[in-house]
Structure 1
């Protein structure tokens, strides 16, 4: 009788241990559902994830200025600035690449050129959005490569984006002329789903 009770207890312990093991083998994953051409969401702004796309419109010497001249390396062009150049901007964000499309926010910040070829910089920005019922801002800090996509970690948020983590990907769309356009993709995750956000690596 005692042997039977001991065997049942051992079997129960093994089952509990197995179920506990399964719990940590299969963590929940945040799914994203489409809400339209430029936006997807699961769980709302205080739920799981939110992704949408806007376009940054930057005009030299109108919405963006060099405030400190660089000291060496490449000259000033649409894609390069000398090493040490400090650049500030306050650019409109539109819902489409067309500059005449509706404005949905503002990107403001600065960058410092950090390579002698003038193509890379350290950038910080506050992205303020009023779009599709979402209002607030996210702050980003990271490296920029002027002629190809760059990923910036989100380091904070306000309003509907409070407590969000994730990243913003900026990609050149049109670098010709006085006004240049960048595609800005925001990928935001809220706790507890932030832990499962994909890790993005900037191209080398």
Structure 2
């Protein structure tokens, strides 16, 4: 099944009060394994970015001033997502911002049913434990070395690993469930014949002694079934 793991960075917490998206990061997964396809965009929010947000994301208005606005990347984003399920950590937050931006751009928002929330999955699996992305990475021994700041694409890749673990980990990724009707026969490449057949390593005397030994076992001997 194709899914899109995604994350947003924003100017604040309130999409209906003027906060905007500043970064989009999306990772395509198929049966929960990243395919290598990704979508990433830095976005000009057309507004100031508070210092406390810059401390988290590293984004400033100056560095984003020459970046495209959301409406300029929206169609590429929609095309990348396609009809896949959209997976995010604290999905209601990201959904609110994505749908706000789509609406501002005159495009249809996504229905709630398109989204899957990994934070809710984590709280259900580990009740009472921290469910933020950092805590889950530590729980599953996922390296955070690449995460010096909150970056949408970096976080999407980290979340892809967390999502796999929340669904059973590497063992689940190797499961054949959902492949009914497909040919799962293991096939080996044919091996060419040896240039010269191997010669017996036993001597004629040894083979004669073995034949006499087997004959003593009678007609029920196992070797007889195989022509020995």
Q: TM-score interval w.r.t. the shorter chain?
A: under 0.3
Larger Rg: 2
TM-score (norm 1): 0.22
Structure 1 or 2: more strand by fraction:
1
- Greater relative CO, 1 or 2 (CA 8 Å, sep 6+): 2
Structure 1 or 2: more helix by fraction:
2
